[in-house]
Each structure stands twice: as structure tokens, then as C-alpha cells.
Structure 1
Amino acid sequence: MAAENRPVSPHLQIYRFMWTMALSILHRITGVFLTIGTIFLVYWLVSVAAGPTAYATAQELIASWPGRLLLFGWTLAFWYHFCNGLRHLFWDAGQGLDLGAARLSGYLAVAAAVLLTLLTWYAAYATHGGVL
């Protein structure tokens, strides 16, 4: 077969896209997002050390609607990565590897991540009198 006629990604013809594949890709994406979010966390901590003016600037950035949206996304990424990581730990122990259990644990990981994110934000707002 000539090089120009060969498929670039032969696995695309072998595997069909599945829910568990999407969750695996999402696990990697949330890992990257957590790394980027950690850089912003370090920025916030450095601003605390840099003094009141730098801290006020960082707080203003975080309190803006894009800042809160990123913080919400970071929270969701954290909880999804955590819940899906637990799922992978069970798999490493040889549990839940059949297709039905893998699909169900994926749904549970997503549902738990959403629920834990909402609970985290509710707790944050409730403890700060509705202002975050």
C-alpha cells in the first residue's frame, strides 16, 4: 500500500467512540486544567506575599465574572479528576472492568463531580453570607 493511501489513524476505523473513551479524554483534559489552575493559585499566593496592592488586584481579578467562571471550572475539574481517579483505582485493583460496570461508574463519577462542585460552591457562599 502506498504511503499516501494509508490511513493516518487506523484506530479510528477499528474503535467506535464510546462513553468511557470520552471520560478518559476528559480525565486528561481536567488534569491539564488543574495544572493551569494551580498556576493561578500560585499567583494568588504570591500576591498575598507581595502586599495589599497586589492582593487587591488579584482579588479583583478572581472576583470578576470571568474569574469566577474559571474558578467554577477549576472546581468542577478538581472534583471530576478526583472521582474519576477513584474509579481508576478500582480498575487498578481489578474491580469494575466489565463494560456495564465501567459505563455505570463513569456516570456516577460525572454525577458525583457535579454534585460535589455545587455543594462546594454552596458551602463557600453560605459561609460568606452570600458573597464570595
Structure 2
Amino acid sequence: MSPQILVVDDETDMEALFRQQFRRELRAGRFELAFASSGSRALEILSAPAGNDIILLLSDINMPGMSGLELLSSTKAARPDLPVIIITAYGDAETQRRSLASGADGLLPKPIDFCALRADVARRLERREECP
């Protein structure tokens, strides 16, 4: 199975945006995108057998129910090796400090710089191919 990137965001238009931005990579089969609209749904996906194919989790920080920081904590407890990048419209120093202190591998401000994200994903895929 192809590696997967799990995007967690309660905004329904994010799926279409990510699919459009990564259309070339998706068509080429470099990876697949999975989506969850809540932290609890993301944890269900991660705990399913196919969850082992997830190589990166991108999560919004502000969501109803479970916040991105709560999801980060639960994810790191279950899968400490899984990189998690927090997406936020609030790129202030306190949000960054809390995210990184909780184990985030990075912070991605909105609007998302897809060029930078694409480069980050490409680096992660290359490392994965080098060390299967």
C-alpha cells in the first residue's frame, strides 16, 4: 500500500484544497491522502490496520471536541515516531511554544504554503525510501 498523509481539519473544504494542491503527486501514486474531520476520527484511522501506512499527520489546532494539541498528545502516546505538523491560523509565539513542547514536528501557518509543504513531504518520502 502507498504511504498516506492524514489531514485532520473540521473545515470541509480542506479536502478539496489538499487534493487539488497535491494532484500530481496523487496521480503519480507517490502517496495517498486520508482525511478526518475530528480528532476522534483521526485516532480511529490511526488505530486501524491501514493506519500503519500513515507517514505524516497534519492537524488543525482549533477544532470542536478534541483540539489539535489533544490529538497531538494522543498520537504521540500511541505512535511516537509519527511526525505531526500542527496547522494554525494563529502563528503566535505561544501557540508555537505549546505545539513544539507537546511534541509537534512543526507548525504550519494558514494560509498554508503548499510549496513549502510539498518540499517537506518530498523530503519525508525520500528518507522513507532510503530506510525502508
Q: TM-score, with normalisation over the residues of structure 2?
A: 0.31
Could you say which structure has the higher helix fraction?
Answer: 1
Counting strand residues as a fraction of each chain, which structure ranks higher?
Answer: 2
Higher relative contact order (CA 8 A, sep 6+): 1
Which of structures 1 and 2 has the bigger CA Rg?
Answer: 1
TM-score (norm 1): 0.31
